[in-house]
Amino acid sequence: MKLAAAAGGGLLVGFNWTDAKAKPAVLDATAEAAAPSIEFNSYLSVSPEGKITIFSPNPEVGQGIKTAFPIVVAEELDVDWQQVHVAQAPLDTVKFQRQVAGGSGSIPHSWKRLRQAGATTRQLFINTAAKRWGVPAGECTTDKGMVLHKGKNKKATYAELAADASKMPTPTDVPLKDPKDFKLIGTSIRNVDNKDIITGKPLFGLDFHRDGMLYAVVQRPEAFGTKIKSVDASKARAMPGIVDVITFDNNVAVLGKSTWQVLKARKALNIQYEKESALESTSDHDRIFDELLNAPDATVRRKDGDVEAAFKSAAKVIKSEYQCPFLPHSPMEPMNFFAHVRPDGAELIGPTQTPERARGDAAKFLNLPQDKVTVEMTRMGGGFGRRLATDFVMEAVKVSALAKAPVKLIWTREDDMTGGDYRPAVKYRFEAALDAKGNMIGYKLRGAGINAGNPTRQDNFPAGAVDNLLIDSAEHKSPITTGPWRAPITNFLAYAEQSFLDEVATAAGKDPIAFRLELLDKAKKSPAGDIKYDIDRMRAVTELAAEKSNWGKKSGVAQGFSLYFSHLSYVAQVGEVTMKQGKPELTKVIAAVDCGIVINQSGARQQVMGGVVDGIGHAMYGKLTFDEGAPEQNNYNNYRMIRMSEIPEVEVHFVDNGIDPTGLGEPALPPTGGAVANAIFKATGKRIYKQPFVEQDVLKGVS
Amino acid sequence: MAQYNLKINGQTYKADVEPDTPLLWVLRDSLGLVGTKYGCGIAQCGACTVHVNGAATRSCVLPVSAIGSSSVTTIEGLSAQGEHPVQQAWDEVDVPQCGYCQAGQIMTAAAFLKQNPKPSEAEIEAAMNGNICRCGTYHRIREAVKVASTKTK
Ligand code: FES
Ligand code: FES
């Protein structure tokens, strides 16, 4: 913690993002002197007019962090939300350390630190007022940005106290609020950028403009596994507005004065490609999956007990395979970045989930020290993991360096969909062994993936609940590039696994929820190996979902259950399907969520509803196929996205357990596919083994 | 290149562009009106929706040469400060996640409500179905259109 009088007479408070303990005060006379210090790493400032500015360091990608972080600070600070102004902090990992939007990790990382910062600052104002009034600090209270002393009938706003506060020592060991006294946390607070969004302000990377900049588009190979043989750019160069055509890596960049001109000129390029490595088609992948599933060896991920013996002694064995296709991320704002590379430094501006990686990659490539490369984060029009990669940033850097000009490099939707970094395609084989009483005594999972790394999550449920278990994986390396996609791996694994558990429950003659609860009981009483999830929290969301959905008691409605733990949060979902004209229709999804304390009801509900809609959309319709290395879908006319008329009702319920909050940008998505598929099974008796659902027999004829 | 005088948001703008340039890129690149978004470029997502003579129109496939004397309204011109009932409803219902699609959603909804001030849920869905929201804010969009319909007289 560090204090300084802000320029103009307010107070600037620095606090450590990475260290929950407040540091002893170091006083500086001016904000300027305080600003470059590395002893603290975030700021809030109080202006003489009473405006509280809180800097939010993490990239905003639609997850609502820019609203949630300041809520936590404001809560402990005890200010009126109306006084709070939120600003996006620049990239400065010395100060802020973790400036990443990914892994649903921001909230768990920063919760305590944010509270500490707010509470310590509040105490500072109390101490300042107590000294001024000659009263014990313990007799003062705060409310809406004011310190009050009831007995002496005194009050002072934080703004009035700011200048004196900057000369006081920083309080240490300040107690945090009892969560039952929270006034802001747990209420509904609107997105802090609503006003700018609804009035069309330039917020996003694609909106960035710098006078004199060039627009650039890049022609990348049309098929994975090919490389440039020859480039004839003569026609393109002669077109209006075209300034340069540059070949770099395996790409050809067209630079010019406007987006439309470079797009037209790109079409006029004549590029010949030649084969560089395998040109894979989706039919090849289908064959490769089966080879991997049947291969004698694979990487063992977890092994408990004696699986072979369990399957030999089984009264019943269930075996199924599930498959999911490649998917593009499809954020509504396509990739883009502005770069201005000069001999002595580089300026980067745009939408990135990993600004630090962007800076590091650029510095390395340009052979510049890190501090000569600046990265400004714009709001992002979605990311879903795509903007964790820096390929598009580096394209802008390279093109700017080669063209010696400021460049805004943009991708079209087609570029976005055909440019790689996809969710990997996978196929799973599950096997379960049941004893005569229907207890699951053995469980096997082999995950086969294409550039998927480990497509299993070997420690997730039902691991720990089955005595004899073997989880392994096999991988095919492909020229088709892949990357993390919202809830990496679990976004398809959960569908497959939760569908399979439903199959096993059916085979055991048990209710799907009762079956899972039995397994959780077993894990609690006699765990098999390590347990990396909280059994009680698994149980609590399961029970909440059962209660809120009136599980098993609705007539005319087929229900399907799914339960998943990811990114430290627990989510159970019930899908509801009714038959309309002989065809199943998804009418409702009920979600029970345990992310600990809910910071912002509005934002949290939004994340869950959006996650469910995303989960339905991609499970139902999403598919990217390949022919000889070339993607066969390239825009929303041939790649189907879920639309308003296709959403079911979504009901969200949070477990109220007072546990420290965990992330919510991803965890609601994984269980959805399973809840939907299991409800469709319940309604029709037909199991869905493959995404997209809409292409499977049971949904044929459903639009 | 050709000179165009465009009536946008009640003002006249000059643009010197090729005749086939879509209005979207004229707005964004030539006139600095970047509230109108690019999402697909082929009239599939609705991110680029503006009003042309009051009708919701996909600016990504509308060549500037076809506009003539029509009057264009973009999100920047829907109201001075965001006080249009649809914009207000969008804030009240707290619709945006990433926010990127929302200008197009709002423009579609505003034109629709002008034609059909008291729509049914099915009519809202039909009207809004052309606008994709990747973040999945559809429930709140639908709700906000309903809220806006109570604000418009
Ligand atoms: S950008 Fe015009 S409809 Fe998608
Ligand atoms: S709010 Fe992100 S695309 Fe709609």
Same fold for the pair A4-198 and A205-276+335-410: yes
Domain range summary for chain A, segments of one domain joined by +:
4-198, 205-276+335-410, 298-326+422-699
pLDDT recorded at residue A22 = 40
How far away, in angstroms, is B102 Cα from ligand 2 center?
A: 6
Whether A645 sits inside 8 A of B18 (CB atoms) is: no
pLDDT recorded at residue A87 = 80
pLDDT recorded at residue A187 = 95
Q: Residues with Cβ within 6 A of ligand 1? A: B 38-41, 43-48, 58, 60
N-to-C CA span, chain B: 44
Residue nearest to atom 4 of ligand 2 (CA): B133
Residue B108 touches chain A, beta carbons under 8 Å: no
Q: Which residues neighbour A381 within 8 Å (Cβ) at sequence distance 6 or greater?
A: A62, A204, A205, A206, A331, A332, A333, A351, B37, B98, B99, B100, B101
Question: pLDDT higher for A703 or B48?
Answer: B48
pLDDT recorded at residue B1 = 87
Q: Using alpha carbons only, give the angle A531, A533, A535 rounded to the nearest 5 degrees.
A: 90
pLDDT recorded at residue A32 = 35
Beta bridge partners of B52: B55, B72
How far away, in angstroms, is A368 Cα from ligand 2 center?
A: 36
* Separation of alpha carbons A231 and A252, rounded Å: 8
For the cut 70, the answer to whether the pLDDT of residue B148 exceeds it is yes
Across residues B64-69, what is the average pLDDT?
97
In order of start, what are the domains of chain B with their CATH numbers?
2-78 (3.10.20.30), 85-151 (1.10.150.120)
Chain A to chain B Cβ contacts (< 8 Å):
185
Nearest C-alpha in A relative to B107: A198
* Separation of alpha carbons A162 and A140, rounded Å: 17
pLDDT recorded at residue A400 = 98
Nearest C-alpha in B relative to A190: B94
CA-based nearest residue to A463, from A408, A515, A523: A523
Whether A647 sits inside 8 A of B139 (CB atoms) is: yes
Task: Read off the pTM.
Answer: 0.94
Averaged pLDDT in 10-residue chunks for chain A of 703 residues: 55 57 33 35 71 79 81 92 82 63 70 87 94 96 95 93 85 92 95 95 96 98 98 98 98 98 98 97 98 97 98 98 98 98 97 92 97 92 95 98 98 98 98 97 98 97 98 98 95 98 98 98 97 98 98 97 95 97 95 96 96 98 98 98 98 96 92 98 97 94 69
> What is the position in ligand 2's atom list of the atom closest to the CA of A331?
3
Which residue among A206, A382, A650 places its CB closest to the CB of B98? A382
Which residue among A198, A333, A614 places its CB closest to the CB of B91? A198
Q: Both tokens of residue A72?
A: 């936590």
pLDDT recorded at residue A2 = 56
Interface test with A, best of B50, B72, B135 (most A CBs within 10 A): B135
Whether A331 sits inside 8 A of B134 (CB atoms) is: yes
Chain A contacts of B131, Cβ < 8 Å?
Answer: 643-644
pLDDT tens-digit series, residues A480-509: 999 999 999 999 999 999 999 999 999 999
pLDDT recorded at residue A268 = 98
Considering the four listed CATH numbers 3.40.930.10, 2.30.30.280, 3.40.50.12280, 3.30.365.10, the one that applies to the domain covering A205-276+335-410 is: 3.30.365.10
Q: ipTM of the predicted structure?
A: 0.98
Domain A4-198 coded CATH 3.30.365.10? yes
Whether A330 sits inside 8 A of B103 (CB atoms) is: no
pLDDT tens-digit series, residues A606-644: 999 999 999 999 999 999 999 999 999 999 999 999 999
Our answer on whether the CB atom of B106 is closer than 6 Å to any ligand 2 atom is no
Whether A259 sits inside 8 A of B87 (CB atoms) is: no
How far away, in angstroms, is A194 Cα from ligand 2 center?
A: 12
**Residue B153 pLDDT level (bands cut at 50, 70, 90):** low
Residue A335 backbone phi and psi in degrees, to 5: -60, 145
Domain covering A298-326+422-699 in this structure, CATH number: 3.30.365.10
3-class SS letters over A11-24: EEEEECCCCCCCCC
For the cut 80, the answer to whether the pLDDT of residue B67 exceeds it is yes
